[in-house]
Amino acid sequence: MIGKTEQQDGEANHTLPMRGVAQPSREEALALSGVRVVSHPLIAHKLTALRDRTTPPERFATLTRELGALMAYEAMADLELEPAPIETPLESMIGARLTGEVVIAPVLRAGLGMAEGFRQTLPEARVAHIGLRRDETTLHPVAYYQNLEHLQRGGRIHASFMLDPMLATGGSAIDTLALLKRYGARGLRLVSLIAAPYGLMAVRREHPDVPIIVAAVDDHLDERGYICPGLGDAGDRQFNTL
């Protein structure tokens, strides 16, 4: 028979799934290949406001969209171009166009704000929605929706961007990237605002071919699996469902 103290400890570990789990240091995460931390004054300024607990939901949503647009410029900096002959009002010239279509894949709900920012930057991008929620007791992702079939129908997909503001344990990102690969997404990149070293290590281990672009790498995950210092729950704060 399990004693009361032992049973209580088991229940506590179930509700605090990161208790006792070893975590890599921030320095180890920053040394990973394929991880880029964006350094830009506007991003740092807006990210600080996003983290602030006094920022109201409507401002939080606006900041998430604005940060999405700024991260889009950074994440798309290496997209390939092809020559594009055009006629200006004055004469002919050779311009440049993207070599293929771009896909943005936000993870519902929290990724929607970033997706709006990406679409402001590139309105013609395709959008592939992926619904995942985190089981708060196990931290495992639970899928409930996906709209990816169109990735297999026509067009030249040049680059695909998975969007999720918070990269915590990495479970949702790992599963989402695997799903996108299964449906033929090309040129995959993962774009987040804030990442924990644990999540970066986990994604890099499972998907070493996928570049990761983030605005900040924080210190650690707490026992509940939340990024610290972080910003709390990005979905709840964005959609005022606290």
Indicate which residues carry an active-site annotation. 134, 138, 233, 236
Enter the DSSP assignment of 165: S
β-pair type (166-167, 188-195):
parallel
Residue 194: strand, helix, or coil: strand
- Return d(Cα 70, Cα 40) in angstroms, integer: 9
C-alpha dist (Å) from residue 131 to 11, 93, 175, 224, 240: 28, 44, 11, 21, 19
- Return d(Cα 85, Cα 213) in angstroms, integer: 33
- Return d(Cα 122, Cα 68) in angstroms, integer: 11
3-state helix, strand, coil in the chain (%, to 5): 35, 25, 35
- Return d(Cα 21, Cα 3) in angstroms, integer: 24
Check: CB of residue 216 under 8 Å from CB of residue 194: yes
- Return d(Cα 227, Cα 240) in angstroms, integer: 20
What number of CA atoms fall less than 13 Å from residue 202's CA on the CB side? 17
